[in-house]
Structure 1
Amino acid sequence: MHDVRIEVGLAVRDLEPTDLADLDWSGGPHHIRALAAAYERSFADQVELVLITLGNGLPIAVGAVDFAKRDAAGELWMLSVRDEWQSLGVGTILITELEDRIRRRGLSRATLGVEHDNPRAAALYQRLGYVQDGLVLDGWPEGPGRSYATVCFTYSKPLSLTGAI
């Protein structure tokens, strides 16, 4: 038996409208519409959207930071990593990039929410220094006349304005 190590080049960049067609894995058509609406909000400087791709341009992670939702903080939001790329450090790269964008705005706190039934994501956030600080009822439209409701734990993390903690 041999240990094998494979290095893969990744690119971290802003999401573009043309990327939306390749994000069906990220949460279905309602999530794509939410990403498109968030992209529109980016023109008002309220949101930044980040995409991580393989060297061939294939998207493997997407996420956003909302600067309008919380005072003096950026809220990480709509985080998604392709299933086959989970637990390989891609989520950490995505969160680190979003935190850097919060710092660039001169803000020193990141917040996020995670559904109560997503312990893997909660464990990642805790490993990255996020502390659970609340519980909220959240939800979003799922189609005409339908909404999804869930309980989310809220987390926050102080950010050093000089770099990662």
Structure 2
Amino acid sequence: MADVVVPLTVRDLVAEDLYPGFAGWTDTHLAGTLEALERAKRGEVDFLAVCPPSGIPVATGGVDYAKPSGVPVLWQLEVDAPLRSCGIGSILIQALEERIRGRGLTSAELGIDENWPRPRALYERLGYVVVGREPGGWNRQAPDGTVTRYETMITVLRKTLA
């Protein structure tokens, strides 16, 4: 079997990329992302998409510069399930880190649900180290529209950017 190499580009995510059913996202997730794109217009966040030649995003994620700690926070990192473990998440994170460096900032932070060890392994491989734990939670919307509250513990990781 031969390897297939597909060129990827990283660009700003735009509202036109989003549609009902995008990447399996719920209406709540889509609405939150549209709100983040409005914040991007004000310079509070960057929200990126990784795309193959089709231009359709296969990975998305953001960096929020408006956190009280003053440390930019990577969030909403997502790679389409069939394409995980192909290096796309690393490309996305490195692009977000470049955006942070472009603002003259020298560190980045992210949080990971302690029930999800696989992404944590990626972040640690990319140089993020554990700096703490905190309670976390968010609303989750089921396909039938029912919203429930999910509570968990978050491991906080930080990286000093060269």
Please give the TM-score of this superposition, normalised by the length of structure 2: 0.90
Q: Deviations over 1:63-119 (max 9, x none)?
A: 000000144421100000000110000000000000000000110000000111111
1:89 maps to a residue whose letter is G
Cross-structure match for 2:92: 94
Give yes or no for contact 1:72–1:109 (8 Å, CA) kept in 2: no
Which residue of 43, 46, 51 corresponds with 2:44? 46
Q: 2:159 aligns with which of 157, 160, 164?
A: 157
Q: Over aligned residues, Cα RMSD in angstroms?
A: 1.8
Mapping of residues 123-138 of structure 1, within 5 Å: 123-138=121-136
Quote the Cα distance in structure 2 between the aligned partners of 1:31 and 1:66.
16
Amino acid in structure 1 at the alignment position of 2:50: I
Decide whether the 8 Å contact of 1:39 with 1:49 is kept in 2.
yes
Q: 1:126 deviation in Å?
A: 0.3
Question: Contact conserved, 1:23 with 1:59, CA < 8 A, in 2?
Answer: no
- 2: CA distance between counterparts of 1:69 and 1:128? 22
1:32-111 equivalent positions in 2, closer than 5 A: 32-111=30-109
The answer on whether the counterparts of 2:17 and 2:56 sit within 8 Å (CA) in structure 1 is no
Q: Is the 8 A contact 2:20 2:27 kept in 1?
A: no
Contact 1:26 1:82 in 2 (8 A): no
Structure 1 contact 72–107 (Cα < 8 Å) conserved: no
In the aligned structure 2, how far is the partner of 1:32 from the partner of 1:141?
Answer: 13
Please point out which of 111, 125, 129 is paired with 1:113: 111
Q: The residue matched to 1:94 in structure 2 has which SS?
A: helix
Q: Which amino acid aligns with 1:38?
A: A
Kept in 2, the 8 Å contact 1:72–1:108? The answer is no
What is the alpha-carbon distance in structure 2 between the residues aligned to residue 75 and residue 15 of structure 1?
A: 17
Structure 1 unaligned regions, length at least 5: 161-165
Percentage of matched positions with identical amino acids:
37
Q: Which deviations, in whole Å up to 9, do the C-alpha atoms of 1:123-142 show, x marking residues without a partner?
A: 00000000011111112233
